[in-house]
Amino acid sequence: MLNFIKNSIFSTKLTAILLLVFAISIGTATFIENDYGTTASKALVFNTKWFELILILLTINLLGNIFKYKLYRWEKAATLVFHVAFIIILVGAGITRYISYEGSMLIREGEISNTIISSDTYLQVRVDDEKTQYIFDKLPIRN
């Protein structure tokens, strides 16, 4: 049973299916973004759990295939570089998604700026009772 699961997860058929679903997903997201905007494509494709699952399964699949087909041998160095590069891109995308933040900064020619407009939703409350000013900032509210 364990061998069947291992062979299924690390199969080239699953790799092909995952890459096909990934390509269709990002293609569809591109058309959605073109017609309805970036927010819609993020809500319907890029920020969904099923899309994350595809990327996680693809990463696991590629890692498994490195060992299954012994791509670490010198004769298969080119294929190893391709697999490792794809894994680095996927890991980088995950780090960017969960650690970084996204926003816009307007910098006119010859000026400097230290203000960024975040695309995340923040809760910010300021109360001034003429004696003391109370400020409450909450970190981004993630969907």
**Per-residue pLDDT tens for 25-55?**
999 999 999 999 988 999 999 999 999 999 9
54: exposed, middle or buried (Cβ count in 10 Å: 0-12, 13-18, 19+)? middle
Residue ranges for the chain with pLDDT beneath 50: 143
The pLDDT score that the predictor gives to residue 63 is 95
- pTM across the whole model: 0.74
Backbone phi, psi, residue 108, to 5°: -80, 155
